[in-house]
Amino acid sequence: MKKALLVVSFGTSYKETREKTLDVIERELSEAAEGYDFKKAFTSYMIMKKLKNRDGIHIDNAKEAMEKLVAEGYEEVIVQPTHILNGDEYEKMNRLMEPFIDSFKSVKVGKPMLTTSEDYDLTVEAIMDEVGALAEDEALVLMGHGTGHFSDSAYAALDYRFKARGYKNVFVGTVEGFPEIDDLMPLVKEYNPKTIKLLPFMIVAGDHATNDMASDEEDSWKTIFLNEGFQVEIILRGLGEFAGIRDIFKQHMLELVSEN
């Protein structure tokens, strides 16, 4: 029986961070899924279009990937997303795949990064393992994407989880959701650190991390914190570079493999 592992990501047009994050996740998932042929897809049409027009690289969307799997005679498919939330992109992926479910003997879909309560604890551990111990006069600020989807609540929940695990100087915010930087600033000031460490809470360190977080633009988080009198240290690494984060996706996928 032909079996395939389809890894679905939002995607990125930044080659350097893609090689350090998505490529590594895909390779590790493929190596762990013994007996499954590796396939990939993105969910961001904007990124797929940019890669096609700029670099001549075609990446399938979820619908195209499923069409090819049907045409190539696969009978069993495991789908593992690399999305952080059970949000818009994850739901879009499932909608695109739905018409093809009955074309296979088995289709199993894995969970995004922040799904179970344990996922939150593992995420806290994975991030702090990479960042290392924070000094009393330091604070770590994570910049997530944010969403209008109800899954936006995951960011505040993660912030709470950091505090519950004893990391009083870790703060989670978003660019396009809640909490925004204006919501975080009073809390950061109340803690009163000397140095802010900025880290993107995104699988890849792409456009938002490079421009909205780390640039010298007047509305970047770096500039905003500098203007408030803090020293700022940039950690320009996507979460996909963190072994503990990759392990969460791997565990979610292996749960599907073990069901067979």
The distance in angstroms from the start CA to the end CA of the chain is: 13
Tokens for 21, please give them: 């994050």
Distances (CA, A) of 40 to 90, 147, 255: 15, 24, 19
Report pLDDT digits (tens) over 21-32.
999 999 999 999
Q: Which of 145, 149, 208, 252 is catalytic?
A: 145
Q: For this structure, is 145 an active site residue?
A: yes
Helices (H), ranges, 103-164: 117-131, 153-164
Tens digits of per-residue pLDDT, 102-133?
Answer: 999 999 999 999 999 999 999 999 999 999 99
pLDDT-derived band at 260, boundaries 50, 70, 90: low
Spatial separation of the C-alpha atoms in residues 257 and 216, rounded to whole Å: 46
pTM to 2 decimal places: 0.96
- Range 3-113+242-258 classified under CATH 3.30.9.90: no
Q: Could you tell me which CATH number the domain at 117-238 has? A: 3.40.50.1400
Map residue 86 onto helix, strand or coil: coil
> Which residues, 6 or more positions from 55, have their beta carbon under 8 angstroms from its beta carbon?
15
Which part of the chain is CATH 3.40.50.1400?
3-113+242-258, 117-238
CB 204 within 8 A of CB 242: no
